[in-house]
Homo-oligomer: A and B are copies of this chain.
Amino acid sequence: MEISEKIELFRESFPFWEKLSEDDKKIFINSSYEMSFSKGVNVHDGNECTGVILVKKGSLRIYMLSEDGKEITLYRLFEGDLCMLSASCALTSITFDVFIDSEENSECLIVSGCVFEEVSTRLPEVKIFALETALSRFSDVMWVMQQILFMSMDKRLAIFLLDEVAKTGRDNIKLTHEQIAKYMGSAREVVTRMVKYFVSEGLISSSRSEGIKILDKKKLRELIL
């Protein structure tokens, strides 16, 4: 990555960029490096400090992992998004572990967590930015928690399917029930049962070759209300 490209990305991602001294700008530039991740690869693994991740291309999935391998998707990052939770040295008040996988071939710029921490100790606006970015994810996670704990399965699946087609712009979803269950923090059997019910109601069709196809978006939307 060219230095000019790095600077452009920093300027877009960090609202404090223009207030930095030339020396501090250099610190960010020199302590950051580009990384490419193929689809499905692990990007950040729990308690290590990977650093602040800026997504240049692709998408990342942030999730919790239980000891026996159960996953709950917390949120996703897309082009232009930024991950602070992967920079544990810069966020001492965060004591839990998250995991990050790439969902597509992704290109990221990574800023060393320790360097970010060093700068943020000197500059309150950098510290405030780090804390606010992390805190805004608190709201995302609470939303997921409400979904999982409070909402009935039909609503949750309807939301998931509509989100997916909105994201991809296509009418079919090429994910296995196992994958959908993982993303929703549910069990495969529960998803399979609900998919069958949706098929019987004429909301979707489901086949091995085509995956899930939305047939009645309007009715699906009504389920959510």
A78-99 contact mask (Cβ, 8 Å, vs B): 1 or 0: 0000000000000101111000
A14 at the interface (CB under 8 A from B): no
13 A–B contacts from the bound complex (CB under 8 Å): A64-B145, A64-B149, A66-B146, A66-B150, A72-B149, A91-B135, A96-B146, A124-B124, A134-B138, A135-B138, A138-B138, A141-B141, A141-B142
Contact with B along A56-70 (1 / 0, CB 8 A): 000000001011101
A142 to chain B, nearest CB (A): 4
Q: Are B185 and A139 in contact (CB under 8 A)?
A: no
A118 CA / B139 CA spacing, docked (Å): 23
Closest to A128 in B: B127
- The closest CB in chain B to the CB of A139 belongs to B95
Find out whether the CB atom of A64 lies under 8 angstroms from the CB atom of B131.
no
- Pair A150/B67 contact, Cβ less than 8 Å: yes
Does A34 sit at the interface, judged by CB under 8 A? no
Q: In the complex, what's the smallest C-beta–C-beta distance from A146 to chain B, in angstroms? A: 7
Residue of B64, B138, B146 near A146 (CB, 8 A) is B64
Contact B128 A66 (CB under 8 A): no
B-facing mask of A15-50, CB < 8 A → 1, else 0?
000000000000000000000000000000000000
Q: Does A132 contact B (CB under 8 A)?
A: yes
Main secondary structure of the interface of A (DSSP, over half): helix
Answer whether residue A154 sits at the interface, using C-beta atoms and an 8 A cutoff.
Answer: no
* Chain A: interface residue total (CB-CB under 8 A): 32
Identify which of B136, B145, B150, B185 contacts A70 (C-beta below 8 A).
B150
Query: Cβ of A135 and Cβ of B142 under 8 Å apart?
Result: no
- For residue A125, CB closer than 8 A to chain B, the reply is yes
Closest CB in chain B relative to A19 CB, distance in Å: 13
Is A143 close to B, CB under 8 A? yes
**Contact in complex: A93, B125 (CB < 8 Å):** no
Take A124-B124, A135-B135 as given contacts and tell me if A149 and B66 are in contact as well, using a CB distance cutoff of 8 Å: yes
Q: Are B135 and A93 in contact (CB under 8 A)?
A: yes
- Give Cα A44 to B129, complex, Å: 28
Alpha-carbon distance between A96 and B93 when the two chains are bound, in angstroms: 20
When A70-B150, A148-B149, A150-B70 are in contact, do A64 and B142 touch as well, CB less than 8 Å?
A: yes
